[in-house]
Structure 1
Amino acid sequence: MNRIFWRFVVLVLLAITLASFAVYFAINRLFGDPLEEIALRQVSAQIFLLEQYVDKAPADEWLLRLNKVREVSNLNIDLIPLPQAQSALDGDQRYALQRGEVVLDIASKSFYRRVDLNDSKYAGSAGDVIHARDLPIDVGVVLKMEALRYAIVALFLLLPIAFWSRSHWRGLQQLSGVADEFGQGHLNTRIQLSESSILFPLADCMNQMASRIDVLLETHKNLLHSVSHELRTPIARLEFGLELLRNAPQAVQEKRIAAMEEDIHELNALVNELLDLTKLDQQHALKRQSFAIDGMLQDCLHAMEHQLTGQDIKLELASDLGELNGDRRLLLRAMGNLLNNAIKYGNGVIRLSAQRSGTDQIMMTVEDNGPGIPVVERSRIFDVFYRIDRSRDRHTGGFGLGLAIVQKAIQLHGGSVVVEESALGGAKFIVSLR
């Protein structure tokens, strides 16, 4: 049996016990002691005999009838002084006795009652008390019935709890086992629980967590492989250039040095791109501020004025763009990367447009008239270090990080970026922001 069940057993039994005592004390406080009521019913015949046979006798026959009752019954009846009776009772019972009521003493199976209150039975009878002992009082049967009721209630509570805890214990055992598997690096292990299980949301979260970690590790593995490849190429060129530089003539040396400087710039650019990408991966909160969308896009074009020289730029901005609450610097970088792509792969025509879609969505698009992006490649171009084969050269191919930075920057704003075919003939990048 599992530990959950036994803990529930202890908890349920403790709760039922406390509830039973609470019920008993509440009834005792509000309606009187229930055990005393039971005892009164058990000795009602003896009390009836005293009240109807003895008490109703004439004054000169009262003692005779009392003695008659002693002879024909199994009761031990004595007359004792009132102070003696009061010393055997507690406070409430003393007050009841003082008023002439029958006072039960369940523990000693006896009752007390004053003979009378005004010496009407015999001289000094107001100071005497009838003490009847050996009464047929037995509350043990009642206590056994209560214990049986307690046991039945506990059983009917614990049976569904046993079934419930068993299923949960098995689910927890499975969670624990899979967690151990995760700890050992087996991230392809999954928790198999029914959707009706109360632990299913937790299991589903753990499965999603394992999937994300698995993807993250695979991404980092690919990233490490790609970084080493990207770094190896310019480093190899630098080594080769240094080797050739040693015995080369002066004119050749200048060319080699220029090529090596270009390789160094390439390494610096790669490192900067990687740092930017890492910062975006680690960034959870944006430095948001309200800014005009049309002003941001015009500033982006102004910052890229040198690169855009010779390009036919078509700027189409709606009049109702208004403002956006976000990180202006990140969005400038994202739109700048998209414009850089349009410059690299287009044939001189670029269209930048922005408009509202509904009341809370901004659509910004960058289009070019280049060869476009094949449909089969569109789902992968935002992956880190992914480049289409035809673009793998140091002048136009880049590092395959620009679009990855675009996607992360837009996702941090809660938006999305997709690529489609442009009416200009090339690629059309659509950025959606809310």
Structure 2
Amino acid sequence: MKNNVGITLKIGLLFSTIFIGLFLILASILYGVFTNLFVDYIKQDLQVRGNNHARIVAESPNKETIGHVIEMEKGASTSVLITDIEQKVLASSETPDQDMDNHLVDKGSKETARVLESDWRQHKYIITISPMKNNTGYVYMYYPSKILREIIYIMNVLFIVSGLGILLLAFGLIGFISQRLTKPLVIMKEATNKIALGKYKQVISVKGTDEIAQLGNSIQILGEQLQYFENSRNEFLADVSHELRTPLTYIKGYSDILAKGKVSNKVDQENYLNIINKEASRLTFLVNDLFEMSKIEVGKFELNKEITMINELIEKVVSNLIPAARKKGLDIKADYQADLPEISVDLERMEQVFYNLIENAIKYTINGQITIRSYLKSDFVIIEIQDSGIGIPSEELPKIWERFYRVDQSRTRKTGGTGLGLYVVKQIIESHHGNIIGSSTENEGSTFTIFLKL
């Protein structure tokens, strides 16, 4: 759980830092825009009102008009001050203070309508000047900076309060999102820890179709495959032990009898010797499969190719297996294309391929026949080995090339085998840049087709 908090905290801090940074940037931009717009509005308003007052007084320069202008500003937050051309104060809506006096222009200077002071942070007023027509005087307008500072202060408070509210909401949302993001990762971490301890089959309940869900699904599939290979390995070790023990028992038992001279009948002696030879051959094939698999696994599988007639190689294997077929009452039918071109293969390993495939056909065929064909098609020499045996269920067919795979444990016990034969066959064929495919109908038979490129 400690790691969970750690990654959640890290993601939360990352998102929070990014969010706070963006919020501060946005807040500063909004603050600057609002302040500038508001100050510009005040300056424009002061200038417009000052110009209007200057026009009215210039059109009718008497005390009544000036008094009317002063009365208009007395009820407003702004102040007005009117002077003649010599900067003598004619009237003011309030008693001029030091800051107002300091911003009066010099006597005799010719002024245009403009903003005299806009620094509301350092000065008491925002001030504009509007000259009257014919240079008869000036109208000064004052907006108290205190009001503006209060408005800005309130705006800052609102920004801070709303910002804190948004931050709290964001932290809650970020915490929720980071928790949602890290929870599947924690589930996967716990599952991989269990897999590392040998508990391969794990259920990872991660919903969705995104990358995290796909990762969870991949880990679950990996665990299932590891469990499958672990079960296969255990079964393989048990089967290898059984396969080794049985022929060794026969060999030891019958050799002991012969060595002790307990059998004087030549027929019995020959039978015992045949049994010993048969069991020794069985051990040889088993050891060869294991040896080939080990070389495949460590990447030391090398070929020693020679030019050969493939029909002759098939016929050699068939002639050696005919006695086993006849013993079960099976016929082996050969249909070879006579004019097949020579091809380059590793004779020993290709012989192993044909032994494995034809022996399998004999093992799993109760009655009927085994047909072996060879023919040329396009740039390929094609060899088919077809039997009328018990067949392979369609759902099991794609798995027969896997290491240690046996279609049915019960029939494996009856016929022998470690699930390595077809795996080794496929590796040998593919190392020749060829291909092998299998087709089967349950209770009708199987066909294995080899494609060897010229």
AA of the residue aligned to 1:274: L
In 2 relative to 1, CA 109–328 (structure 1 residues): closer, same or farther, beyond 3 Å? farther
- The answer on 1:312 being equivalent to 2:333 is yes
Q: How many residues align?
A: 387
Cα offsets for 1:28-74 (capped at 9, x unmatched): 9xxx85423223445666656665557977973562348735616x7
Equivalent residue, structure 1, for 2:311? 301
Task: Give yes or no for contact 1:108–1:133 (8 Å, CA) kept in 2.
Answer: no
Task: Give yes or no for contact 2:356–2:421 (8 Å, CA) kept in 1.
Answer: yes
Given candidates 157, 176, 179, the residue that maps to 2:192 is 179
* CA displacement at 1:210 relative to structure 2: 1.2
- The answer on 1:136 being equivalent to 2:147 is yes
* CA displacement at 1:163 relative to structure 2: 4.1
Task: Give yes or no for contact 1:190–1:207 (8 Å, CA) kept in 2.
Answer: yes
* CA displacement at 1:218 relative to structure 2: 0.6
* CA displacement at 1:77 relative to structure 2: 1.8
- The answer on 1:216 being equivalent to 2:233 is no
Task: Give yes or no for contact 2:376–2:382 (8 Å, CA) kept in 1.
Answer: yes
Given candidates 18, 23, 34, the residue that maps to 1:15 is 18
5+ residue gaps, structure 2, are 62-82, 106-111, 323-331, 341-345
Task: Give yes or no for contact 1:109–1:136 (8 Å, CA) kept in 2.
Answer: no
Equivalent residue, structure 2, for 1:77? 100
Cα distance in 1, alignment partners of residues 143 and 122 from structure 2: 10
In 2 relative to 1, CA 63–2 (structure 1 residues): closer, same or farther, beyond 3 Å? farther
Task: Give yes or no for contact 1:281–1:408 (8 Å, CA) kept in 2.
Answer: no
Equivalent residue, structure 1, for 2:219? 206
In 2 relative to 1, CA 163–235 (structure 1 residues): closer, same or farther, beyond 3 Å? same
Within 5 Å, which residues of 2 pair with 1:241-320? 243-244=256-257, 247-248=260-261, 265-280=281-296, 299-309=309-319, 311-315=332-336
* CA displacement at 1:212 relative to structure 2: 0.7
DSSP 3-state at the match of 1:63: coil
* CA displacement at 1:228 relative to structure 2: 1.5
Task: Give yes or no for contact 1:77–1:130 (8 Å, CA) kept in 2.
Answer: no
AA of the residue aligned to 1:64: K
Task: Give yes or no for contact 1:113–1:130 (8 Å, CA) kept in 2.
Answer: yes
Give the root-mean-square deviation of aligned CA atoms. 6.0
In 2 relative to 1, CA 363–175 (structure 1 residues): closer, same or farther, beyond 3 Å? farther
DSSP 3-state at the match of 1:36: helix
Cα distance in 2, alignment partners of residues 342 and 206 from structure 1: 38
Equivalent residue, structure 2, for 1:428? 446
* CA displacement at 1:201 relative to structure 2: 2.2
Cα distance in 2, alignment partners of residues 329 and 109 from structure 1: 104
TM-score (norm: length of structure 1): 0.62
5+ residue gaps, structure 1, are 83-97, 288-295, 320-326
Cα offsets for 1:259-284 (capped at 9, x unmatched): 7676555434322211223455677x
Equivalent residue, structure 2, for 1:37? 37
Within 5 Å, which residues of 2 pair with 1:316-395? 334=353, 337-342=356-361, 350-352=371-373, 365-368=384-387, 372-373=389-390, 379=396, 382=400, 384=405, 388=411, 392=415
Cα distance in 2, alignment partners of residues 378 and 132 from structure 1: 90
DSSP 3-state at the match of 1:308: helix
* CA displacement at 1:258 relative to structure 2: 8.3
Cα distance in 1, alignment partners of residues 418 and 18 from structure 2: 68
- The answer on 1:232 being equivalent to 2:245 is yes
Sequence identity, in percent? 15
* CA displacement at 1:185 relative to structure 2: 2.7
Cα distance in 2, alignment partners of residues 376 and 17 from structure 1: 63
AA of the residue aligned to 1:420: T
Cα distance in 1, alignment partners of residues 297 and 275 from structure 2: 33
Cα distance in 2, alignment partners of residues 378 and 207 from structure 1: 22
Equivalent residue, structure 2, for 1:108? 122
In 2 relative to 1, CA 312–135 (structure 1 residues): closer, same or farther, beyond 3 Å? closer
Cα distance in 2, alignment partners of residues 108 and 223 from structure 1: 91
In 2 relative to 1, CA 244–157 (structure 1 residues): closer, same or farther, beyond 3 Å? same
AA of the residue aligned to 2:217: D
DSSP 3-state at the match of 1:77: helix
Cα distance in 2, alignment partners of residues 375 and 230 from structure 1: 23
* CA displacement at 1:192 relative to structure 2: 2.7
Task: Give yes or no for contact 1:314–1:352 (8 Å, CA) kept in 2.
Answer: yes
* CA displacement at 1:204 relative to structure 2: 1.8
In 2 relative to 1, CA 349–52 (structure 1 residues): closer, same or farther, beyond 3 Å? closer
Cα offsets for 1:77-122 (capped at 9, x unmatched): 242699xxxxxxxxxxxxxxx99645522432556779799xx989
Equivalent residue, structure 1, for 2:84? 60
Cα offsets for 1:305-336 (capped at 9, x unmatched): 2233475312479x9xxxxxxx9998886566
DSSP 3-state at the match of 1:367: strand
Equivalent residue, structure 1, for 2:203? 190
* CA displacement at 1:432 relative to structure 2: 9.0
